[in-house]
Amino acid sequence: MTVQRRPPGDLTKQLFKSAGNATSAWFMSADHLLAGARVLILELRHLDMDLPIGSKIPQEAKLLPSAFLLYGFALENLLKALWLKHGNMFVVDDKFVGIKGISGHDLPKLAQVTNFSVNEEEKLSLSSLHIKLVSSARYPIGKDLSKHCFISYPNGGFGSNTPFNSGDISIIECMVGRLIKELGYDGESTVSPDQILDQQ
C-alpha cells in the first residue's frame, strides 16, 4: 500500500517556518537532548564497575557513547539557536537552507560562525565530539580516515580523537551553561557540572 501525501498547506508551511526560525524551538530540542544525556550519565555513575575478570558487562556500562551522542546533538541545537539569535534564518521560501559551508554536525565550525568563544580545551572537546557524532558514537568507523589519526593535546601528550572520556562531561556542561546564558534562558535547563559528576 502506497501512502499518498498531500502537498503542504499554508498552515503546515507557516508551522515549518515558525519552528525552523524560532530560537526557542531549537532550545527546546536541546533541552530534551540534554535531559537524555544527563540521565544516562547519572545511570552510569551509579554503576558498580568493580567486576570480576570475565564478567558480562552490564547494559548500564555501555551508556557513555549514547550520552555523548545526545550531548553533541544538544550542543548543535544550542549553537544553531545562537545563529538564529544573530538574525539569521533556517527556513526561507519553504525550504530549510541551513548554514552555508557547514554540514555534518560540524560543531567547531558552528562555534566559529556563531562567534561562540571557546578556549583550547573546549575547542578540542568540540572537535572530538564532532567526530563522535559522525563515527564512534553511532558507527564503528567514520567515513574519513584522517579523523581517526592521533592528535596532540594542548597540555602535552597525544591520543585518539574518538575515545569516550567522562572527563569531557564537565567541559561540555560548561559550554552548555554559557550557551544557555547567551541565548537568554539564564537558569533554565542549567545543571552545574558538579551536579552531574558528583551524584552517587
Phi-psi region at 94: left, alpha or beta (left = phi > 0; alpha = psi -120 to 50): left
pLDDT at 31: 96
pLDDT for residue 74 is more than 90: yes
Query: In percent, how much of the chain has pLDDT > 70?
Result: 82
Task: With H, G, I as helix, E, B as strand and everything else as coil, classify residue 5.
Answer: coil
pLDDT at 53: 86
Place of cell 557524532: 133
| Cα dihedral 120, 126, 129, 130 sign | negative
Half-sphere exposure of residue 57: CA atoms within 13 angstroms, side-chain side: 6
Higher-confidence position of 147 and 68: 68
pLDDT for residue 80 is more than 60: yes
pLDDT for residue 51 is more than 90: no
Q: Determine how many CB atoms are found less than 10 A away from the CB of residue 21.
A: 15
Please state the rounded mean pLDDT for residues 136-157.
68
pLDDT for residue 172 is more than 90: yes
What's the rounded Cα separation, in Å, for the pair 177 and 173?
6
pLDDT for residue 72 is more than 60: yes
Top mean-pLDDT range of 74-78, 127-131, 142-146: 74-78
Place of cell 544516562: 40
Nearest CA to 72 among 43, 103, 34? 34
* Amino acid found at 95: K
Asked if 135 and 162 count as a contact pair (C-beta separation under 8 A), the reply is: yes
Asked which of 32-36, 109-113, 143-147 is least confident by mean pLDDT, the reply is: 143-147
Do strands 95-96 and 158-159 pair parallel, antiparallel, or not at all (unpaired)?
unpaired
Please state the rounded mean pLDDT for residues 89-99.
93
CA 108 to the chain's CA centroid: 11
Please state the rounded mean pLDDT for residues 24-41.
95
What's the rounded Cα separation, in Å, for the pair 39 and 25?
22
What's the rounded Cα separation, in Å, for the pair 106 and 114?
12
pLDDT at 199: 42
Asked if 8 and 16 count as a contact pair (C-beta separation under 8 A), the reply is: yes
pLDDT for residue 88 is more than 70: yes
Higher-confidence position of 118 and 103: 118
pLDDT for residue 112 is more than 80: yes
Q: For the chain, what's the residue count?
A: 200
pLDDT at 107: 95
pTM: 0.82
* Amino acid found at 58: P
What's the rounded Cα separation, in Å, for the pair 169 and 40?
12
pLDDT at 185: 87
